[in-house]
Structure 1
């Protein structure tokens, strides 16, 4: 077993070459050092786990916790005000089970399915607007607005509040200046506090009203838990979905044979979405985890309290699990990806995310049968960090 007490400077693999091609680094690490101690761009030490078999197992192992209380060394994740931190991505054990049980009562499959009509309607309205533009940008004009419209419907955000609501969300997830983020988060927090108060006075049939009403014997969600959950649903439901749609559309447009098959048979849409979740996932890493005791992964001993980053994007390109992993294939037999989590932390919003992506792709393929890139792929710009990869713009031509 290798030692974990090295004193030399840690490797910093997330450089410009990583930004250009993250998958080349993952391939090298899987072969050379599948469990590797590295420094993040801010210098924080973490253990990077890259093989599919390890990532899948440890995503469910209870010796890794999401609770920051277990962290003694390394990256702890994005800092939020305490009132927004009481969510499922910072909990394990009984607290997590209690919260998840309550949330699931407001996030039923029937409630999600009831949104189908509004999701389709939003996609159609955005497609109408695309048709009037000479060279639309599918990120700004379609992939970005769609999940925002869906979340607005999910929470029944008043019509007069939707424009500032959308501006705050955009500033938070894609700021012109990172210094604007704290103010946007503060405004969103205040917005959700006020919205919770309004729903208590006058409940509706929206998700927030359902969460307020959810009870488990004499237990119910606290004010901070309600605000934190609303914030989590917003950030995960907007940022992740818009980037999945953008990355997915790009992937289809540069894989013409696969795109032609999908155009010829829309029944392949569910298969396409699952393969896109494997191949084009914008979130390169799972949320950070902390070792609750000394553990061993791949012959490497990891001390209690250290931070681990499970690299989902690397796992999805592991040839030991997926034959020809760098090939986008609608007909791939093994579609058991890790994009939506694993075990007790499997994403509660997975059905809604899948629905939105299917409707987005299906609407565009039906409305614009000649959809194509307006610029060569090499001219597109990517927003890449150590943990995510998404397109800044996706200019398209919608007519022959």
Structure 2
């Protein structure tokens, strides 16, 4: 890599990015990526520090090259969803909203949802298994939207529409989409939002004890509660954040375990190992490429580099998770590894709010697949689809017997 040029879209990187990440950590831990006008950080200590430093904002409007948005009037509802998202809320609302959501998605509360997630996994497998074959991506893609609809107790007659909303919401996060394709994918937003408003109104009148939407509606933080616009935006965020990421966590989890038959044999002997094994697949084969960018809210010196106000920085979580200073023998897949320092789901205030829910889906899906199909084998290598943020599998077929 004497004449190194970072390329996260090439076929060799998509298949195996780790030689690139290793070079970055060892030779250019603060790499200036000229085409993106960004600085790329790849060492664990720097990545974690960025995730925990409030001088780095998620708000894309803080970027030095940000342009005023010009959404057509008919997409005013979509703009409201964005404007009320956590990353754009003012400081006095960000903390309370985050705490309200966190209190509704604790590990304990998600554990109570496991039976619904299991039912969704079983039913999706029943309709996607094709004889003795299964496309893991086809099975995993609809799971997050299906689970969110279950957890929000969306009425049956609205589910098909709102699952479509979930898939479109996830697609809208792809910043590489041409504007016309983006607008086409989210054009039904007013109809979807109207449906959600009806569900919220009904649930305010008749709250339930066992659904996430009722919990969010009734949650309080020092007397504060979520506004309806914040509720709508959170539902949108659940769909976006859980879409491509959960699909690929499952797909890469299957791919990784199939490449390590000795570890898989251990899991077959002791199913309790699956939880840590799933976490190790996220460390070993984190599917994020550049991850979500951050923007400097002030000029600063960081990790020996001068950063401008508004400059984009890219903390490479996938590279940090193979840092040998933190994870001994990082290129060895070890389902018994101590993973207390993992940052697969972020860190501190930047920890994914739905981390417990995503983990539950991953563990349930992997556990069910390998329990039902213990002889599963890959049918070739994955096929990839264009995506600016992740190594997204378009297709990954396995033989089940």
- Shorter-chain TM-score range: 0.7 to 0.9
| Structure 2 residue 272 is the aligned partner of structure 1 residue 270 | no
Matched residue, 1:194: 198
Shift of 1:75: 9.7
| Structure 2 residue 383 is the aligned partner of structure 1 residue 381 | yes
| Structure 2 residue 8 is the aligned partner of structure 1 residue 14 | yes
| Structure 1 residues 75 and 341: alpha-carbon distance in aligned structure 2, compared to 1, 3 A threshold | farther
| Structure 1 residues 369 and 181: alpha-carbon distance in aligned structure 2, compared to 1, 3 A threshold | same
1:152 to 142, 149, 152: 149
2:119 to 118, 121, 124: 121
1: CA distance, partners of 2:399 / 2:171 = 25
| Structure 2 residue 107 is the aligned partner of structure 1 residue 112 | no
Matched residue, 1:163: 160
Shift of 1:151: 0.8
| Structure 2 residue 50 is the aligned partner of structure 1 residue 58 | yes
| Structure 1 residues 362 and 385: alpha-carbon distance in aligned structure 2, compared to 1, 3 A threshold | same
Q: Report if aligned partners of 2:82, 2:88 keep a CA contact under 8 Å in 1.
A: no
| Structure 1 residues 146 and 279: alpha-carbon distance in aligned structure 2, compared to 1, 3 A threshold | same
Deviations 1:212-232 (A, max 9, x none): 222334422122211111111
Matched residue, 1:252: 257
Q: Report if aligned partners of 1:84, 1:224 keep a CA contact under 8 Å in 2.
A: no
Matched residue, 1:4: none
2: CA distance, partners of 1:15 / 1:238 = 20
Matched residue, 1:357: 362
| Matched residue count | 382
| Structure 2 residue 342 is the aligned partner of structure 1 residue 337 | yes
Q: Report if aligned partners of 1:76, 1:307 keep a CA contact under 8 Å in 2.
A: no
Moved more, 380-389 or 88-97: 88-97
Matched residue, 1:7: none
| Structure 2 residue 46 is the aligned partner of structure 1 residue 46 | no
1:204 to 205, 208, 211: 208
Give the structure-2-normalised TM-score: 0.85
Deviations 1:288-322 (A, max 9, x none): 22222222233111122212111111111223322
SS in 2 for 1:290: strand
SS in 2 for 1:296: strand
| Structure 1 residues 13 and 154: alpha-carbon distance in aligned structure 2, compared to 1, 3 A threshold | same
Shift of 1:109: 3.9
Q: Report if aligned partners of 1:45, 1:73 keep a CA contact under 8 Å in 2.
A: no
Deviations 1:203-248 (A, max 9, x none): 3332122212223344221222111111111222233222211111
Shift of 1:159: 1.0
SS in 1 for 2:133: coil
SS in 1 for 2:197: helix
Q: Report if aligned partners of 1:109, 1:351 keep a CA contact under 8 Å in 2.
A: yes
| Structure 1 residues 36 and 185: alpha-carbon distance in aligned structure 2, compared to 1, 3 A threshold | farther
1: CA distance, partners of 2:195 / 2:13 = 38
2: CA distance, partners of 1:163 / 1:110 = 29
| Structure 1 residues 90 and 76: alpha-carbon distance in aligned structure 2, compared to 1, 3 A threshold | farther
1: CA distance, partners of 2:134 / 2:281 = 22
SS in 1 for 2:314: strand
Deviations 1:332-363 (A, max 9, x none): 23452111110122222222211111111111
1: CA distance, partners of 2:363 / 2:9 = 34
1: CA distance, partners of 2:49 / 2:169 = 33
1: CA distance, partners of 2:116 / 2:339 = 32
Unpaired runs of at least 5, structure 2: 72-77
2: CA distance, partners of 1:371 / 1:76 = 50
SS in 2 for 1:81: helix
Shift of 1:384: 4.9
Matched residue, 2:314: 309
SS in 1 for 2:292: coil
